[in-house]
Amino acid sequence: MTTSNAPPIVPASGMGLYVHVPFCKTKCPYCDFNAYQGIEDLIGPFLPALMAEIKCWGETLAHTAVKSVFFGGGTPSYLPPGYIEQFLSSIQTSFQVDSGAEITIEANPGDLDATACASILGQGVNRLSIGVQSLDNDLLNLLGRRHQASEAITAFQTARQAGFDNVNLDLMYGLPNQSMDQWRQTLDSLIDLAPEHISLYALTIEEGTPMHRWAEEGKIPEPDPDLAADMYQYARESLAEAGYHHYEISNWSLPDRACDHNLIYWQNGPYLGVGPGAHSRLGDYRFWTVLSPRDYLNKAATWADSGAKPVAELIEPVLQGIPTLGGWEHISQETACSETMFLGLRLLDGLDLKAASAQTGIDLAKKFQTPIKDCIQLGLLELDGTCLKLTESAYLVANQAFTRFLE
Ligand code: SF4
Sequence-distant (6+) residues with CB within 8 A of 189 are 135, 153
The segment(s) of the chain belonging to CATH 3.20.20.70 are: 15-266
DSSP 8-state code for residue 385: T
The preferred substitution site among 19, 75, 145, 170 for testing ligand 1, maximizing ligand atoms within 8 Å of CB, is: 75
Gap from CA of 27 to ligand 1 centroid (Å): 6
CA geometry: angle 199, 201, 202, nearest 5 deg: 155
Gap from CA of 52 to ligand 1 centroid (Å): 26
Q: Which atom of ligand 1 is nearest to the CA of 73?
A: 3
Gap from CA of 74 to ligand 1 centroid (Å): 5
Class of CATH domain 15-266: alpha beta
Gap from CA of 63 to ligand 1 centroid (Å): 32
Gap from CA of 144 to ligand 1 centroid (Å): 9
Per-residue model confidence as pLDDT tens for the chain (407 residues):
334 344 468 888 899 999 999 999 999 999 999 999 999 999 999 999 999 889 888 888 889 999 999 999 999 999 999 999 999 999 999 999 999 999 999 999 999 999 999 999 998 999 999 999 999 999 999 999 989 999 999 999 999 999 999 999 999 999 999 999 999 999 999 999 999 999 999 999 999 999 999 999 999 998 899 999 999 999 999 999 999 999 999 999 999 999 999 999 999 999 999 999 999 999 888 888 889 999 888 877 666 666 544 343 444 444 544 444 677 788 999 999 999 999 999 999 999 999 999 999 999 999 999 999 999 999 999 999 999 999 999 999 999 999 999 86
Gap from CA of 290 to ligand 1 centroid (Å): 19
Binding pocket residue ranges, ligand 1, CB within 6 Å: 24, 27-28, 31, 33, 35, 73-75, 108, 131
Task: Kindly state the greatest CA–CA separation across the chain.
Answer: 62
- Specify the residue with its C-alpha closest to ligand 1, atom 8: 31
Q: What is the 3 state secondary structure string of 76-143?
A: HHHCCCCHHHHHHHHHHHHCEEEEEEEEEEEECHHHCCHHHHHHHHHCCCCEEEEEEECCCHHHHHHC
- Specify the residue with its C-alpha closest to ligand 1, atom 5: 27
